[in-house]
DNA sequence: CTTTAACCGAGACGGTACGTCGTGTCTTAAC
DNA sequence: GTTAAGACACGACGTACCGTCTCGGTTAAAG
């Protein structure tokens, strides 16, 4: 989904709020009744994360998570509509820890920083998980959208904002098609992750950063 | 998967062979035994193609294909190891019909031609199917590799060869990282296909061609 | 299986209990969880009985029962380990309705009553079903044992007890080998049922009763 | 099936001829063409016998016999209509080796001899196989009849003839119901074989012989 | 200090599809 | 014209999960 961003001033680092589980978004004025069990939530998310280390997203089932977490299946279904939503929340904790690049620096440096940050997320099992959950979201529009919102939106906005900034300041060429460049860069990451059995290597990360700088100027 | 191509002289149009079903690759000196039923094969592939028009790859089951094709499940499993392999063969017929760009022309023109060709494949339901089957192949190494070999390898080799030619002739900048550029271009296609609920639109196709030309020179 | 009975005082009328489905034997203090659906159970047993009227045990499949009963296959497998167990439960209702002969009467009369009772069970389709399910249980030790326990054990015990009583009272000869006589009498029934395409006829029933009386005295 | 025998003089020992495979009965003046392969026949029968030592009749499949015998499935189906027919032929060789008791002796001795002979056949794995194939024949009238003809008919005729002889000579009681007694004796054997997980033991054999003598006089 | 309502675990339910096995039939080339 | 090989349509197997549905039993705020 091509980012159609505005955000000229990057007071980015949006949602520096907590993991933002879809489960916890429920801010509605809850009536009485037993409150949600934080213990169960944590058990579910922890179990999911633990399983993700050894098992592909495809091979994880809601059923197995429930059993291992010592939790009723219903409890999971109550808070997450499907496996993708669950996994997205589970990994959002560990993933979101990396800070977004701050503004004020030179566009070139910002771009480098952001790509390094994204590459760091994608290294090791993490990148594989993201690719798998991305793949798993296919064929179901809402879930597809969920993946984008939960995971990619922030990165797209940041990158687009950096590119726009660079174009404005003259550091990047004015012919640069922001949205498309975002697609090409992140697309390259995913293409690499999804076509290669091995995890994303450092070499690729270095080269894509270099090449990105080249194609912008 | 980063293309590791050589191919300086592009006697491209490599697979000028027939559809190349994995099922029909069996060139081994068939001993005795009842020969494979071409009728069944065609029924299977036709049915698969027909279903793909209306149904997502995820929602197609070997069982349903067998039933609609009037064929035993075993017959499908005998010739294709899984759904992805089947779908890849099914679409390889219609997809492979487009001719690869011939050599001799200017690199710029070749690049444009090849991207137009790829974009044409990706337009409409076709692109969605490819993205879906690509997604479906995730989480299973052999199947992942199969998708690459059957579908992407040819396109990667052609594009890489064009880029190398352009670098050699001076039409493209010498700093161009061939493999990475291939990843960025095709990556952008897939990223678009997989993140956007709508089919790939003409506008995107035009823009990515333009931008590709820009980043090469 | 030779009866190894004691039971000198025949407070017979052994199964004064309910149909005794293996499914309902579960007297354990059911914990939480959704309770078993009695409606489904009945549908399964009823459907099985209905099918048995027209179809041989061999030609009944768990799959077809599930489909006709409007029930998931899993539900059947959850409560019955295999077809034999299911059929045994299904027929235990209709079969068990006949009362066992009460004690106090003369051994000769008791013997006659019991054999008449058994013959009545074996008449018509019922006997065929029993023979078929007996046959079906062969080649699988646990199932074989299940058939014996569920169906034959009661009859063996009653007959053995009658014979022992007759020997004790002097009505039957003292040389009578109880266990073996049980085998010969019930063996004759099954041999007849399994070797003859037609259902067990009244004539056979009458004759075996007469002959049994003769061989005992 | 109650034997309805005449055969007063027992020039029995019928078919002391060769194994009498239904396959080899084909005495018709065969036309030209490739002759039937005796090697294949033997391989099929030998393989079947070998498998019967370790595997229950239920768990033997035509498919597995064909594969182990290095023979086409078609070849088996051409000569035997089903598994039961095949197994019956396979075991008829080893089984038929025991000679029938000759006439002229005293009925009591003849009876004892015949039952000893039958018991010897039923001992060990052999008896189990017979019971299994008997069971397997259930639910299919022709096959049921085949089992009777191929295996039981001879034994029924011999026993009935002995009993009739005894009645005629006054050695056995005149009230003896020949057919029914045959059913009771062989029925006891099968009932024992089919209800007991262990092979038929010597003790049972001895006792049934004793009891049979008792019930006849 | 009792209602009331939402939560929770457990797990049964109707389904769908899986991938495998065996059936009995067929279609070749080889002998 | 039989044979080995083996493909074929078919039907059933027993298993795994799906997402939904009861249950009995908490757990807290509202009355």
Q: Give the pLDDT confidence of A113-128 residue by residue, as tens digits.
A: 999 999 999 999 999 9
**Closest nucleotide (CA of B66 to C1')?**
F9
Report d(CA C105, CA D190) in Å as an integer: 32
Show pLDDT as tens, one digit a residue, over chain B (217 residues). Answer: 344 433 333 333 333 333 334 444 444 555 678 888 999 999 999 999 999 999 999 999 999 999 999 999 999 999 999 999 999 999 998 776 566 666 678 999 999 999 999 999 999 999 999 999 999 999 999 999 999 999 999 999 999 999 999 999 999 999 999 999 999 999 999 999 999 999 999 999 999 999 999 999 8
| Regions in chain C scoring below 70 on pLDDT | 1-31, 97-103
Tokens 């900048």 belong to which residue?
A: B173
CA distance B116 to chain A (A): 16
Burial B139-167 (b: 16+ CB within 10 A, else e): bbeebbbbbbebbbbbbbbbbbbbbbbbb
pLDDT value, residue C174: 94
Which subunits count as partners of chain D given 3+ CB pairs below 8 Å?
A: C
**Cα–Cα distance measured from residue B154 to residue B92, given in angstroms and rounded to the nearest whole number:** 12
pLDDT at A69 over 90: yes
Q: What pLDDT is stored for residue C32 in this prediction?
A: 80
Q: Is D153 exposed, middle or buried (0-12, 13-18, 19+ CB in 10 A)?
A: middle
pLDDT tens profile B35-53: 889 999 999 999 999 999 9
pLDDT given at position C97: 57
B133-166 confidence digits (pLDDT tens): 999 999 999 999 999 999 999 999 999 999 999 9
Tell me the pLDDT of chain A averaged across its residues.
85
**Digit-coded pLDDT (tens) for C125-160:** 999 999 999 999 999 999 999 999 999 999 999 999
- Is strand E less than 7 A from the beta carbon of B82? yes
Across D35-59, average pLDDT: 91
What was the pLDDT predicted at D103?
A: 66
pLDDT at site A27: 45
Q: Which residue of A has its CA nearest to B55?
A: A139
Is D164's pLDDT higher than 50? yes
The partner residue sitting opposite B194, judged by closest CB among A138, A188, A192, is A138
**What pLDDT is attached to residue D143?**
93
The answer to whether B185 and B215 have CB atoms below 8 angstroms apart is no
Can you give the pLDDT at residue D100?
Answer: 65
Phi-psi region of B30 (alpha: psi -120 to 50; beta: other; left: phi over 0): beta
Per-residue model confidence (pLDDT) at position B194: 97
Nucleotide F1's nearest residue (CA vs C1') is D33
Structure tokens at C76: 């059947």
Query: Cβ contacts (< 8 Å) between B134 and chain A: which residues?
Result: 135, 194
With a cut of 70, say whether residue A24 has pLDDT above it.
no
Question: CA dihedral defined by D11, D17, D22, D25, rounded to 10 degrees?
Answer: -100
For residue B114, what are the contacts with CB-CB under 8 A and spacing of at least 6?
A: B100, B101, B155, B158, B159, B162
Answer yes or no: is pLDDT of D10 > 90: no
D207/C180 Cβ within 8 A: yes
HSE-CB at B75 with a 13 A cutoff on CA atoms is 19
Average pLDDT over residues A31-35: 75
Segment D84-93 mean pLDDT: 93
| pLDDT at residue D25 greater than cutoff 50 | no
Average pLDDT, chain D: 84
């Amino acid at each position: 989904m091509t980012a159609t961003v505005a955000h000229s001033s990057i007071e980015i680092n949006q949602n520096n709020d907590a993991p933002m589980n879809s489960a916890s978004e429920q801010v509605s004025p809850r009536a009485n009744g037993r409150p949600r069990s934080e213990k169960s939530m944590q058990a579910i998310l922890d179990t999911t994360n633990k399983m993700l280390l050894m098992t592909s997203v495809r091979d994880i089932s809601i059923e197995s998570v429930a059993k291992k977490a010592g939790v009723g299946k219903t409890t999971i279904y109550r808070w997450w509509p499907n496996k993708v939503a669950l996994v997205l929340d589970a990994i959002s904790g560990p993933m979101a820890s990396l800070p977004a690049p701050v503004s004020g620096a030179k566009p070139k440096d910002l771009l480098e920083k952001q790509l390094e940050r994204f590459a760091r997320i994608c290294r090791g099992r993490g990148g594989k998980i993201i690719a798998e959950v991305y793949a798993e979201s296919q064929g179901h529009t809402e879930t597809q959208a969920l993946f984008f919102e939960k995971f990619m939106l922030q990165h797209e906005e940041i990158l687009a904002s950096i590119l726009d900034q660079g174009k404005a300041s003259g550091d990047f060429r004015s012919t640069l098609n922001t949205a498309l460049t975002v697609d090409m860069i992140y697309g390259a990451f995913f293409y690499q992750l999804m076509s290669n059995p091995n995890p994303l290597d450092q070499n690729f990360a270095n080269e894509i950063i270099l090449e990105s700088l080249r194609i912008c100027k």
